């Protein structure tokens, strides 16, 4: 095994090409000069503070299900090879490859910024989604606690929110989630892409195991938190055969809803994903990419709104029909009602004496 190959252990990407905005392109490769028995220096994870001016991001996409979101972190150590957030690292002058999962940023002022934004006279409450870009419960959250601080603000002022993760660490915050759930102010989602530990470790090298994620569903549901399970991404020829099994186990664990997203390969992800397929699953690489293109009009990806999440054509239709049938079979077809925005109370402005006098 080459030194460079050893360095990739525990990582999703197989390369680290420069971002698309760089004037000079660089990429590490094995030139054969390093002895195979020479110890490989591991790719270390760095976590740096990011100075943010605002914390609530807004989008106008008609197919993501929310327009306001908070991302406590940039980059993600989970290293999911298919992650749609990878291309955003290019805006930082970094690679969507290995840099995305090893050069991370956190927003230390997230809770303070959120409280300031909620206190603006012009603010109007709407559901805020936590983790719309990268996972809010990646490993560094254990010590940094940025996501928990954000949730504490939302719960304190009775603001509706949703949260999505692949991490069992979400159970740490079951107290906050249960309190919000008792007031119809929260929804939680766990992403479970496979029950096969080997495949999961290959696709999502630093995520919680499938069993730990199912246990998180069980614990949150037991605490009264409404939980949906996402089978995302659904990859034809790789994990799509597990769709029904994942939904069955999710229902047994207490999930109340389910959704899926077909594999998306925008920008640099298409090359990173193909690289990974050929490295980790060479026996299926050609078939998987052929099926993906059949869902995307002959291309690796089609970003058209309305179809980018599900794809088009016979393969996509079969995927959708199977998923709907499985949801019905396992009692996951119920629709959630709207979260309650009427309970929101704005944070006190500087100089307010409301809390002091108890009025």
Give the model's pLDDT for residue 286. Answer: 97
Confidence grade of residue 359 (pLDDT, cut at 50, 70, 90): very low
Q: In the Cβ-directed half-sphere of 10, how many Cα atoms lie within 13 Å?
A: 10
Give the model's pLDDT for residue 103. Answer: 97
Helix (H) or strand (E) holding 118: helix 110-118
Angle between helix 210-222 and 243-253 (nearest 10): 40
pLDDT digits (tens, 9 = 90+) for 343-354: 999 998 766 655
- Judged on CB neighbours under 10 Å (0-12, 13-18, 19+), 201 is middle
Contacts of residue 130, Cβ cutoff 8 Å, sequence gap at least 6:
69, 70, 71, 72, 136, 147, 150, 151, 161, 162, 163, 164
Give the model's pLDDT for residue 89. Answer: 96
Bigger pLDDT: 1 vs 123: 123
Q: What whole-number percentage of the chain has pLDDT above 70?
A: 89
Task: Please state the pTM of the whole predicted model.
Answer: 0.90
Confidence grade of residue 357 (pLDDT, cut at 50, 70, 90): very low
Domains of the chain: 3-30+45-334 (3.80.30.30)
CA distance 56 to 156: 17
pLDDT digits (tens, 9 = 90+) for 232-270: 999 999 999 999 999 999 999 999 999 999 999 999 999
Bigger pLDDT: 136 vs 24: 136
Contacts of residue 339, Cβ cutoff 8 Å, sequence gap at least 6:
127, 160, 161, 162, 184, 185, 186, 187
Give the model's pLDDT for residue 3. Answer: 46
- Given a contact cutoff of 8 angstroms between Cβ atoms, the answer to whether 289 and 206 are in contact is no
pLDDT digits (tens, 9 = 90+) for 89-133: 999 999 999 999 999 999 999 999 999 999 999 999 999 999 989
- Given a contact cutoff of 8 angstroms between Cβ atoms, the answer to whether 203 and 281 are in contact is no
DSSP per-residue string spanning 185-253: -EEEEEE---S-HHHHHHHSTTSPPHHHHHHHHHHHHHTT--EEEEEEEE-TTTTGGGHHHHHHHHHHH
Q: In the Cβ-directed half-sphere of 106, how many Cα atoms lie within 13 Å?
A: 23
Nearest to 69 by CA among 203, 161, 192: 161
Nearest to 16 by CA among 115, 83, 63, 86: 86
Q: In the Cβ-directed half-sphere of 299, how many Cα atoms lie within 13 Å?
A: 13
Say which range, 28-37, 238-247, 279-288, 302-311, has the weakest mean pLDDT.
28-37
pLDDT at 36 over 70: no
């Amino acid at each position: 095994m080459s030194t460079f190959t050893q360095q990739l252990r525990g990582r999703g990407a197989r390369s680290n090409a420069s971002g698309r905005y760089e004037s000079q392109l660089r990429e590490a490769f094995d030139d054969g000069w390093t002895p195979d028995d020479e110890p490989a220096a591991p790719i270390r994870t760095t976590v740096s503070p990011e100075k943010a001016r605002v914390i609530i991001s807004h989008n106008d996409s008609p197919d993501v299900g929310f327009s306001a979101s908070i991302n406590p972190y940039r980059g993600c150590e989970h290293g999911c090879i298919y992650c749609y957030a990878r291309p955003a690292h290019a805006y930082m002058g970094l690679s969507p490859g290995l840099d995305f999962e090893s050069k991370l940023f956190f927003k230390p002022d997230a809770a303070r910024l959120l409280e300031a934004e909620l206190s603006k006279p012009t603010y109007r409450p709407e559901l805020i989604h936590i983790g719309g870009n990268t996972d809010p419960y990646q490993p560094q959250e254990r010590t940094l606690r940025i996501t928990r601080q954000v949730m504490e603000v939302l719960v304190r002022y009775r603001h509706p929110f949703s949260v999505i993760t692949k991490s069992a660490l979400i159970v740490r915050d079951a107290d906050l989630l249960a309190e919000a759930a008792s007031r119809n102010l929260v929804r939680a989602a766990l992403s479970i892409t496979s029950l096969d530990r080997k495949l999961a470790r290959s696709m999502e090298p630093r995520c919680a195991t499938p069993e730990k994620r199912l246990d998180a569903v069980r614990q949150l549901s037991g605490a009264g938190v409404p939980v949906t399970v996402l089978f995302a991404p659904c990859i034809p020829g790789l994990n799509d055969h597990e769709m029904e099994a994942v939904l069955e186990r999710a229902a047994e664990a207490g999930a109340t809803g389910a959704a899926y997203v077909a594999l998306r390969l925008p920008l640099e992800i298409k090359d990173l994903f193909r690289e990974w397929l050929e490295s980790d699953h060479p026996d299926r690489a050609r078939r998987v990419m052929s099926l993906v293109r059949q869902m995307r009009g002959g291309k690796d990806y089609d970003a058209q709104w309305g179809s980018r999440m599900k794809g088009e054509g016979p393969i996509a239709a079969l995927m959708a029909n199977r998923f709907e049938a499985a949801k019905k079979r396992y009692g996951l077809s119920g629709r959630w009602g709207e979260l309650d925005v009427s309970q929101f109370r704005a944070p006190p402005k500087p100089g307010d004496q409301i809390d002091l006098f108890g009025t």
